[in-house]
Amino acid sequence: MTPFGTRLAQAIEERGRFCVGIDPHAALLKEWGLDDDVASLERFALTVVEAVAPVVSVVKPQSAFYERFGSRGIAVLERVIAESRAAGALVLLDVKRGDIGSTSQAYADAYLDPTSPLASDAITASPYLGFGSLDPMVDACHQHGAGLFVLALTSNKEGPEVQRAQTGGGTVAGAMLDHLRHLNAGATPVGSFGAVVGATIGDHDEDLDINGPFLVPGYGAQGGTTADLARIFGTSARWALPSSSREVLQAGPDVTALRDAALRGTSAVQELGV
């Protein structure tokens, strides 16, 4: 199969680098005048898909907001994934899974094997049981042309306790970036193994030239700006996917308003000029 990095580069060329999070949490359901139940979850999520999946390069459903409704919520997530991909968007499923051995393999089978009803173009993963614990997911990406975005420098205030801790002459985050750099070596136009790096992380000394993409949460309503993208990523910003949820979703439930908000986000990122 065509590698995720190749498909992502094509999607960026055609639709830009803005990523829309499809996060139906209770507060947003209320803002839309909806109840906090499965029927409202379905209406919310599929309205967002209708609005944005035909125009943005990547959508990012956060699995937890569907899981909280049990099996019926997961059924809605399956539709979000399938209908987003059918509309031409790449689906980056935000699950942040990380485990060892057969459990890690089961996560790979669930989210990256194209025969699974939850199969996505890429997922997020946590490497903090050791990067090698992700090997089943890495292997699945090679086999199925999927992508993996590994937590590296996240925006949450607790992140530095682990990510910026020193190990072997560098930081833990730096070691994760080194692993990704190795996985992406020689890939063109860009590798399939990315890092999650927040838009509000402040100053850092890490080498972000990993020949791979970046998922950049914290953009928009959470305070991250295009100036932050330029500052944090430098020339690597061309592969950064700033992700926004609330800034787009609060424009609903009108489909046209949602689509316009997504297109404004795309235009703002394009103005970065890298």
Q: What CATH number is attached to the domain comprising 143? A: 3.20.20.70
Q: What is the pLDDT of residue 230?
A: 86
**Is 78 within the bounds of a domain?**
yes
Residue 82 belongs to what domain range? 4-150+179-269
Burial zone of 122 (CB within 10 Å; 0-12 exposed, 13-18 middle, 19+ buried): buried
Residues 27-40 have a mean pLDDT of 97
**Is 170 within the bounds of a domain?**
no
Number of domains in the chain: 1
List, for residues 71-81, the tens digit of each pLDDT value: 999 999 999 99
Strand partners, 193: 148
Check if 30 is active-site.
no
Residues 188-216 have a mean pLDDT of 93
**Is 161 within the bounds of a domain?**
no
Q: pTM, whole model, 2 decimals?
A: 0.96
**Is 164 within the bounds of a domain?**
no
CA distance 154 to 134: 18
Residues 221-239 have a mean pLDDT of 84
Phi, then psi, of 202 in degrees rounded to 5: 75, -160
57 DSSP assignment: S
Q: What is the pLDDT of residue 29?
A: 97
Q: What is the pLDDT of residue 52?
A: 98
**Is 201 within the bounds of a domain?**
yes
Q: What's the pLDDT band for 274 if we cut at 50, 70, 90?
A: low
Q: Count other Cβ atoms within 10 Å, centred on residue 246.
A: 16
**Is 172 within the bounds of a domain?**
no
**Is 246 within the bounds of a domain?**
yes
**Is 250 within the bounds of a domain?**
yes
Using alpha carbons, list the distances in angstroms from residue 7 to 112, 125, 269.
15, 20, 19
Which one from 30, 60, 96, 157 is the annotated catalytic residue?
96
